[in-house]
Amino acid sequence: MSPGALDFGIAAIAVVLAARAVFSRDLFAAMVYFVALGLVVALLWARLEAPDVAIAEAAIGAGLTGALLFMTWRRLGSPRGMKVGGVAARWVLSVTLASSAALTALLLAASGSLGRFPGLAGEVADALPRSGVENPVTAVLLNYRGFDTLLEMGVLFLTLAAMRSLGVSTALNHERLAHSAVLAGLVRFAVPLSVLVGGYLLWAGASTPGGAFQAGAAWAGALVLMRLADTQLMSHLRLACSSWIGLAVFGAAAAAAYVVVGYPLAYPSGQAGIWILVIEVAAALSIAAILYQLFALDPGGKRNEDTKARR
């Protein structure tokens, strides 16, 4: 099979899964199609030679999002027959298809001018030896445009803070799945593997696809799996500290660089690799803690607690 035919086949499968997720009249089936779509989209990113995005899509789009959907479905009382199709779904699909067609046409029209605008690949390659890492993606994210990544960490932290300020309970949701020998065995196998995979992605991100976000997603998945299996987790205090440590270390690095070099996030010559490694470790811990808490926090917990207190 030619590469073009393979890519066309994968894209066609993605479209079919998306349509099934929208039009399925069974809520459980729609969620299964959605998770499958996330895995196929991750494969598409890999085919587009964007493995960093593929790893994040598989971990977030299919993994954590799928777990959140299934837990919500269970809390609704497992309504297998709930209808999710209808006129609204048709409108959503129609608008999505029209937007995708317009975007595809725009990209095809712009592709003819790519030769005249080669981009910054040459400049990135020339500056890579001074960046402290060998992977151009990591160099761009944590060296060349470190301010953007710092702001992204801030957005993640503010998202968690906003959920709590809107009445979401700071106490984690106590609903868990029933004890299962199969689930317990999966935890014993998958959690250590997820920790190792996350550590590898964090360390390898300096030279190959990976990095803090991918590592944090893998660790968050391990935390979610442990919670589903009713396994003892870290304390609320440790989770809270882990949530802000990435932003704090990133901000401290910016301030220290300003004092040492005279410009924020301009790392000292010959030490950029060490600075980036410290920032990535802290960022991965924060990403894992925040993603886990966004999954596990109880949306109605604070309201329920206030109701009980008034009674």
From first to last of its 311 residues, the chain has per-residue pLDDT tens of 566 778 888 888 888 888 888 888 788 888 888 888 888 888 888 888 778 788 888 888 777 788 778 777 777 765 555 555 555 556 666 666 676 667 666 656 655 555 555 667 777 788 888 888 888 888 888 888 888 888 988 998 898 888 777 765 545 554 445 456 666 777 788 888 888 988 998 888 888 878 888 899 888 888 888 877 766 666 677 777 888 899 999 999 989 988 988 888 888 878 888 999 999 999 999 999 998 888 877 655 544 444 444 44
Quickly count: other Cβ atoms within 10 Å of residue 184's Cβ: 13
Per-residue pLDDT at 280: 92
Q: How far apart are CA 262 and CA 265, in angstroms?
A: 9
Question: Which helix (H) or strand (E) is 288 found in, with range?
Answer: helix 272-296
Which tens digits make up the pLDDT trace of 166-213?
765 545 554 445 456 666 777 788 888 888 988 998 888 888 878 888
Which pairs count as long-range contacts for 97-106, CB under 8 Å and 24+ apart, including other chains? none
Exposure string for 108-130, b = 16+ CB within 10 A, e = fewer: eeeeeeeeeeeeeeeebeeebee
Q: How far apart are CA 206 and CA 115, in angstroms?
A: 29
Residue at token pair 């030490």: 271
For residue 208, give the DSSP letter: S
CA distances from 247 to 149, 153, 236, 284 (A): 10, 6, 18, 11
